[in-house]
Chains A and B, each alone.
Chain A
Amino acid sequence: MAGSSEGVLTTASPARIRKDPAVTAAALALWLLLGLFVVYPLAMLIVRMLTDNGTFTTTGIVAVLTDRHQIRAFWNSLLLALSVGVVGTALGFLFAFAAARGRLPRALLTAIDVSVLLPLVSPPFTTAIAMIFSFGPRGLITYNLLGLKGVTVYGMTSTLFSEALTYFPIAYLTLRPILAAIDSNIEGMAFSLGASRWRVFRTVTLPLAIPGLANAFLLLFAASLADFATPLILAGNQFPVLPTQAYLQITGLFDLRGGAALSFVLLVPSLIVFLLQRYWVSRRFYVTITGKGAGQAPFDSISPAIRVVLLAACLGVALVIVYFYALLFYASLVMALGANHAFTFQHYRVIFTDGAKAIGDTLIIAGFAMPLGGLYGVLLGYLVTKKSFAGRRTMELVSMINYALPGTIVGIAYLIAFNDPPIELTGTALIIIACYIFRYGPTGIRATVALLQQIDKSLEEASQGLGAGSGTTFKRITLPLILPAFFAGLGVVFIRSMTAISATIFLISIGWTLITVKILENITELSLGPAAAFSVLVVVIVFVVIAVIGRVLRLFRAPGAVPMTSLLGG
Chain B
Amino acid sequence: MSEPLLAIENLHVGFDIYGGHLKVLDGVNFAVGKGEKVGLVGETGCGKTTTMKSVMRILPMPPAKVRNGEVFYKGKDLLRVNLRKVRGVKGEGISMIFQDPTAALNPVFTIGRQLMDVVKYSKVAGKGQSGDKIRERAISALKDVAMPDPERILSNYPIQLSGGMRQRICIAMALVTGWELLIADEPTTSLDVTIQDQVLRLLGGLVEEKGNSTILITHSLGIVREWTDRVYVMYAGNMVEAAPTKQLFSHPLHPYTQGLMKAVPKLTGEGMAEGVTGRIPNYLTPPPGCRFHPRCPHVMPICEQERPPFYDVGDAHQVACYLYKE
Please indicate whether A and B come from the same complex rather than being unrelated chains. Answer: no
Residues of B at the A interface (CB closer than 8 Å) are none
